[in-house]
Structure 1
């Protein structure tokens, strides 16, 4: 008997050791795997419909969905990059032609009034220090060369890391779609919980993940529409482009939709429209920025059996602790706690008191 207890303890220790080692191995891909599991849970219904449409070809269905996700990620990025490159090329061409035909003074006269004053100040300063200009340039290049190289290296490393995480996420997403049901059944079979409890918890996770994803996209759409109204009122150039940028940045909580409003307000300020710039900045704070805190908890609550205040603080708490991923982790952790409490109360709680039998009427 004693040897059996020792063997159990040793085996439990080995299981804990294997869990720690597994966590170390998975840690570099943890965020990608988590997002893949969330996306797979949210799109599992679509995967089932496509599998039926493709006559049971689950691999083909998963491939089509992965391709759709890639297109949804790459197309906006490609479009924005092409637009920015085109605008930058037009700007460089305009500056080159103006300098060639009219010189620096002609270019300065074409600038908006606030920018023209700044240009006059800079040019006056350069004229005063014209003798020392070459030395200053050489000194700045020498001192900042290492910093610039580090910045470029860091940017390249960050871009490579993001691309790597995205690729890992897509690979895991594909296999979660294809083998997700088998994974759930395996977890149900090896879980020490009662039959059906593990699947119930995973079903709760899927419901929360779907609600948060749908609410995030819908809230970004509402913010983009609200921002578009402000852009049209303030007469921002290319307002629909700024609205599209607002939509995609609204999906990134660390950046937010209001940043685009501030950038557009700065553009208006530089072109001499001070009052419109002030209006757009206030609009970005009071309307575009705050609508996220109102609309998202309401939309998340619609898909969950959870009070709106709990959803609100779960979103903010998850964002504060875990960063961007916390928008999913916060509600998932709270729903996990509530699901465990509900299961315990249902399966292990005290039995409800049996009602007393009614008194027998006298004969």
Structure 2
């Protein structure tokens, strides 16, 4: 029969093996589960209020909030896709009709001054005759117009992997809303930590994740407003569309809102407005580009209750280490570490007093009248033990 120590070691190995296998099972959905947990923690208060208004219908409240998340993701993406496809199709039709009526020279005459000069130089170097060139361009535009629209649709729409992760996230979000409380209670019941410590870490997770998520959305709003101001000053066509595109791309750290302003600057330059293009380039780089590095840490630190510099480096460090999801993981890791340190200091403390702590009364202190008591060495421990005087009536 195996000894108790051997059985404990085997059981520990089985636990580690099960954790490893569990990680392999969860790994394909890890990012989806993480984002679902962040959204559930952020909107849990709203879920509770909505459940009370619906007279305790927990599943109905979870379904409404999950549907709201779906609409918040799909409506902007669908509108952006439809607009880009429409613009590409109309542009292809315009080029085809212009070449049919006026030829390539008529199309070149419609270009802005700097671009028109470059196009004229290219046309003069082409050995092809004008009639053949017109027919070639017309055929290419007609043939590639539909292909370009499909390519834009495929580029903007979610790929299969992203769509799969989004579906898994929404399913997990629904169950986090409906069974999140029982999940937290179960985790606390099996946790080896003291009672209340696990729930405290969960509250820290909820506070930080909500602060980071809301600060990201708020920062995207501030950046889009700053970009809109620049578009209005430079008189960019369709400024509201470009501002909406800036808001959408501001939520993607690898892209950002500044690239939309720089794109508008390029369009203004090629349309014959170099000073407006220069203004937009400076505005996008200085104002729109730096807002993200200033506003987001200021807003996120309210939920994290940490110094702005800590939040700033947690955001950048998480982004560098884990990619886009690191904007949430970085602050959460820092907050998790600080929560553990706080719990350790509060619940366990230190064995020895630190500088500034009240001194413990000892021999020769005011507790014994200032007298130094004699001591003897203990035979059992080898330490000096104070020799306590025997009271007179003890005999």
The TM-score with structure 2 as length reference comes to 0.82
CA displacement at 1:359 relative to structure 2: 6.2
* Alpha-carbon separation, structure 2, partners of 1:332 and 1:158: 27
* Alpha-carbon separation, structure 2, partners of 1:122 and 1:163: 44
| Partner SS, residue 303 of structure 1 | helix
* Alpha-carbon separation, structure 2, partners of 1:55 and 1:158: 37
Q: Which moved more, 1:223-232 or 1:87-96?
A: 87-96
Which structure has more relative contact order (CA 8 Å, sep 6+)? It is 1
Q: Using a 3 Å threshold, how does the CA distance of structure 1 residues 157 and 223 change in structure 2: closer, same or farther?
A: closer
CA displacement at 1:290 relative to structure 2: 0.6
In structure 1, what is the equivalent of residue 348 of structure 2?
A: 348
In structure 2, what is the equivalent of residue 143 of structure 1?
A: none
Deviations 1:113-139 (A, max 9, x none): 222123223323332699xx9xxxxxx
Q: Using a 3 Å threshold, how does the CA distance of structure 1 residues 16 and 68 change in structure 2: closer, same or farther?
A: same
In structure 2, what is the equivalent of residue 93 of structure 1?
A: 93
In structure 2, what is the equivalent of residue 225 of structure 1?
A: 225
Matches within 5 A, 1:158-177: 159-177=159-177
In structure 2, what is the equivalent of residue 299 of structure 1?
A: 299
Matches within 5 A, 1:1-363: 3-127=3-127, 159-350=159-350
* Alpha-carbon separation, structure 2, partners of 1:26 and 1:155: 28
CA displacement at 1:69 relative to structure 2: 0.5
Deviations 1:254-293 (A, max 9, x none): 1011110111111011111112111111111110001111
Q: Using a 3 Å threshold, how does the CA distance of structure 1 residues 104 and 156 change in structure 2: closer, same or farther?
A: closer
Q: Which runs of 4+ in 1 moved over 4 A?
A: 154-158, 351-360
CA displacement at 1:248 relative to structure 2: 0.9
* Alpha-carbon separation, structure 2, partners of 1:185 and 1:125: 76
Q: Which moved more, 1:36-45 or 1:76-85?
A: 76-85
Q: Which moved more, 1:156-165 or 1:297-306?
A: 156-165
CA displacement at 1:2 relative to structure 2: 6.6
* Alpha-carbon separation, structure 1, partners of 2:218 and 2:157: 32
Deviations 1:40-61 (A, max 9, x none): 0001011111111111111110
CA displacement at 1:103 relative to structure 2: 1.8
* Alpha-carbon separation, structure 1, partners of 2:73 and 2:319: 22
The number of residues matched between the two structures is: 345
* Alpha-carbon separation, structure 1, partners of 2:157 and 2:255: 20
Q: Using a 3 Å threshold, how does the CA distance of structure 1 residues 67 and 274 change in structure 2: closer, same or farther?
A: same
| Partner SS, residue 111 of structure 1 | coil
CA displacement at 1:157 relative to structure 2: 11
Higher helix share: 1
In structure 1, what is the equivalent of residue 147 of structure 2?
A: none
Deviations 1:106-164 (A, max 9, x none): 1111111222123223323332699xx9xxxxxxxxxxxxxxxxx99x97997111100
In structure 1, what is the equivalent of residue 384 of structure 2?
A: none
Q: Radius of gyration: which is bigger?
A: 2
Q: Using a 3 Å threshold, how does the CA distance of structure 1 residues 92 and 155 change in structure 2: closer, same or farther?
A: closer
CA displacement at 1:77 relative to structure 2: 1.0
